[in-house]
Structure 1
Amino acid sequence: MNTAKHSKKWSLPLSRKKPFFARSKHVSAYISTVLFASWVGTYLDLYFVGKQMYSFPARPYPAIFSINIAFTLIGLPILTTFFLYFIEKMKTWKKGVFIVTISLIMMISEKRSEAIGWFAHNDQWDHLYSFFGYSLFLTIIWKFYRWMSSL
């Protein structure tokens, strides 16, 4: 008489790997958010450069573009991707601290890029505007990402 043995495979826990549709939804939320951040950043730069609040003395194709398209089309998407990657792994209260920290770093980076000659503000500009602007921008980007992830 043959007896069947219980396979050890059946007692293993289910795979924790997310199904493809869940991963593609995650990727599409990332891509949508990165494009949104680039779009918002581009139009904010166009607005503030148009109002002569700041300028980009060193930029690619200065005869064509009044803004630094390298930053808005390459730098900002890369930074947004890193921002999303790290912030989604944090607990709620750490997210606020992270946004404030990045805003401070960006404010300091603006001052450094002015010293190098990549960026110039007019005399009425206060760098606290940059801090609050980046805080608001990053909060909106995070909320947009969460909204896109929930669809």
Structure 2
Amino acid sequence: MLASLLGTYLDLYFVGKDLYQFPMRPFPEIFSINIAFTLVGLPLLVLIFLRTVSQVNKWGKAGIILFVSLLMPIFEKLAEVLGLFVHADGWQHLYTFFGYLLFLTIITLFFEGMTKQNS
């Protein structure tokens, strides 16, 4: 739930600042972001991510977060080639790396905090 909310708000912010846009998205007359990704794709990917990081030690978690963060600019570039995503001219894919590094760290810490609280 947190990942979906964060993803939605971040997309709304960056689209509102004209840093990127989603040319192909469901209900383009209503939503300026790709709600299919933020409400379905992102939560599913985060569930897989959390399942994976819950099975490793702290160094494994750090490695997975780093690895996934390094993969995201590659997937972002692929989405651009497929016409799903368009960035402003000043956008650097390094922003994506650091953004996902922070995003995944927050999600992991929140998940661990909730897991410890419930046990």
TM-score range, shorter chain: over 0.9
1:82 correspondence with 2:48: yes
State which of 97, 105, 112 in structure 2 corresponds to 1:146: 112
State which of 60, 66, 76 in structure 2 corresponds to 1:94: 60
Give the TM-score, by structure 2 length. Answer: 0.96
1:135 correspondence with 2:110: no
Give the TM-score, by structure 1 length. Answer: 0.76
Match of 1:55 in 2: 21
Q: Aligned partners of 1:71, 1:122: CA distance in 2, in Å?
A: 20
Structure 1 segments unaligned to the other structure (5+ residues): 1-34
1:71 correspondence with 2:37: yes
Match of 1:23 in 2: none
Percent same amino acid at aligned positions? 56
The letter of the residue matching 1:148 is M
Give the aligned CA root-mean-square deviation in angstroms.
0.6
Measured against aligned partners, the alpha-carbon deviations of 1:82-127 in whole angstroms (never above 9, x if no partner) come to 0000001011111111111101111100000000000010001000
1:149: Cα distance to partner?
A: 1.2
Q: Aligned partners of 1:58, 1:79: CA distance in 2, in Å?
A: 20
Structure 2 segments unaligned to the other structure (5+ residues): none
The letter of the residue matching 1:145 is F
Matched length: 117
Moved runs in structure 1, 4+ residues, more than 2 A? none
Give the secondary-structure state (helix, strand or coil) at the position aligned to 1:64. coil
Larger Rg: 1
Q: Aligned partners of 1:119, 1:103: CA distance in 2, in Å?
A: 18
Measured against aligned partners, the alpha-carbon deviations of 1:62-98 in whole angstroms (never above 9, x if no partner) come to 0000000000000000001000000010111111111
